């Protein structure tokens, strides 16, 4: 646990390790723990899975990313044991789980700040207001806001190239709700991807680009991107561990979650993985660019897991 692992290292490791995990499960080594969902939480879950593999190679964890919404669809269908989520489950998704007989428990595992990024060649914008973000991203702006000067006449007539998460992403849901006032309300003439690395590449490759995604992906690509401060009315604030945790980076700070399918606890590997996850999330989350939960939240997670898993002590 003493090694610091970057998000980039996690991705590289998974590309080589994941096929071996699947092969091992085919040899009857042990059950596979299936994790899917948020591309944001993917970084934490992948790092936890990798570190668990080092101390307990008999637990085979396969971590995928199909977006929070895509993960909850698989969760309700009983296809995965753990759903990574960058927002809380919706009433519709919870109803689908109930209809399918899927009981679950939610754990808050980290905090994240949504970063607003531009290309490093952008020398006209260092701070953006929430109102300006709304002007850019609201649905009706697809017809009227095509250049930076359409938002602020002091900015150049540089055409926008917009990048953001796809519609199955919890990041998309959260951003549209807090910026545009309604979840999933957004212009659609942008380049979407559930893979945040593709968004990094897009913003890094176009002078007029603007995008938003999890802070961890900026931390891993500082040399390719320019981070904007966000002004919600109380002054410009950039996302840092401190401003995300204390909520001064508003409204783009948020908690991150994992959802455990209770019936999956019948699989010893799932119990081992989630117990290890909750004990170590506070160490792993900062290693991949996120902010650890408070001691109070971590303790509540331990107690909740002990209750749901029948563990006598989760210390």
Task: Give the confidence band of 19 by pLDDT, cuts at 50, 70, 90.
Answer: very low
Task: Give the confidence band of 21 by pLDDT, cuts at 50, 70, 90.
Answer: very low
Which of these, 256, 259, 230, lies nearest to 117 by C-alpha position? 230
User: pTM for the whole thing?
Assistant: 0.75
Half-sphere exposure of 310 (CA within 13 A, CB side): 6
| Domain annotation for the chain: domains and CATH numbers | 7-111+255-309 (3.40.190.10), 113-253 (3.40.190.10)
pLDDT at 30: 62
Over residues 40-94, the pLDDT tens digits come to 899 999 999 999 999 999 999 999 999 999 999 999 999 999 999 999 999 999 9
Mean pLDDT of the chain: 89
Question: Helix axis angle, 268-287 relative to 295-309, nearest 10°?
Answer: 170
> For residue 138, is pLDDT > 50?
yes
Task: Give the confidence band of 32 by pLDDT, cuts at 50, 70, 90.
Answer: very high
Over residues 244-290, the pLDDT tens digits come to 988 899 999 999 999 999 999 999 999 999 999 999 999 999 988 88
Over residues 142-182, the pLDDT tens digits come to 999 999 999 999 999 999 999 999 998 889 999 999 999 99
Written as six digits, the tokens of 123 are 């020398």
Which of these, 224, 221, 217, 247, lies nearest to 234 by C-alpha position? 247
């Amino acid at each position: 646990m003493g090694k610091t692992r970057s998000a980039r290292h996690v991705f590289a490791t998974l590309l080589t390790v994941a096929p071996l995990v699947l092969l091992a499960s085919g040899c009857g080594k042990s059950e596979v723990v299936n994790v899917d969902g948020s591309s944001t939480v993917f970084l934490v879950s992948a790092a936890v899975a990798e570190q668990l593999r080092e101390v307990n190679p008999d637990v085979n964890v396969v971590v995928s990313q199909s977006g929070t919404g895509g993960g909850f669809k698989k969760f309700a269908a009983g296809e995965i044991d753990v759903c990574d989520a960058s927002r809380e489950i919706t009433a519709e998704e919870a109803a689908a789980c109930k209809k399918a007989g899927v009981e679950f428990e939610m754990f808050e595992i980290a905090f994240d700040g949504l970063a607003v990024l531009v290309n490093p060649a952008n020398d006209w914008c260092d701070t953006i207001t929430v109102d300006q973000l709304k002007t850019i991203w609201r649905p009706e702006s697809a017809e009227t806001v095509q250049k930076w000067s359409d938002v602020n006449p002091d900015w150049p007539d540089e055409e926008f190239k917009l990048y953001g998460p796809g519609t199955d992403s919890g990041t998309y849901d959260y951003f549209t709700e807090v910026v545009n006032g309604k979840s999933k309300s957004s212009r659609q003439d942008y380049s979407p991807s559930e893979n945040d690395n593709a968004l990094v590449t897009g913003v890094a490759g176009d002078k007029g680009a603007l995008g938003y995604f999890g802070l961890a992906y900026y931390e891993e690509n500082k040399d390719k991107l320019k981070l904007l401060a966000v002004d919600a009315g109380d002054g410009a604030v950039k996302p840092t561990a401190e401003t995300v945790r204390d909520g001064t980076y508003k409204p783009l700070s948020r908690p991150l979650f994992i959802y455990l399918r209770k019936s999956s606890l019948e699989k010893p590997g799932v119990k081992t993985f989630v117990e290890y996850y909750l004990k170590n999330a506070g160490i792993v989350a900062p290693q991949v660019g996120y902010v650890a939960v408070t001691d109070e939240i971590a303790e509540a997670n331990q107690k909740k897991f002990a209750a749901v898993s029948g563990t006598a002590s989760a210390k």
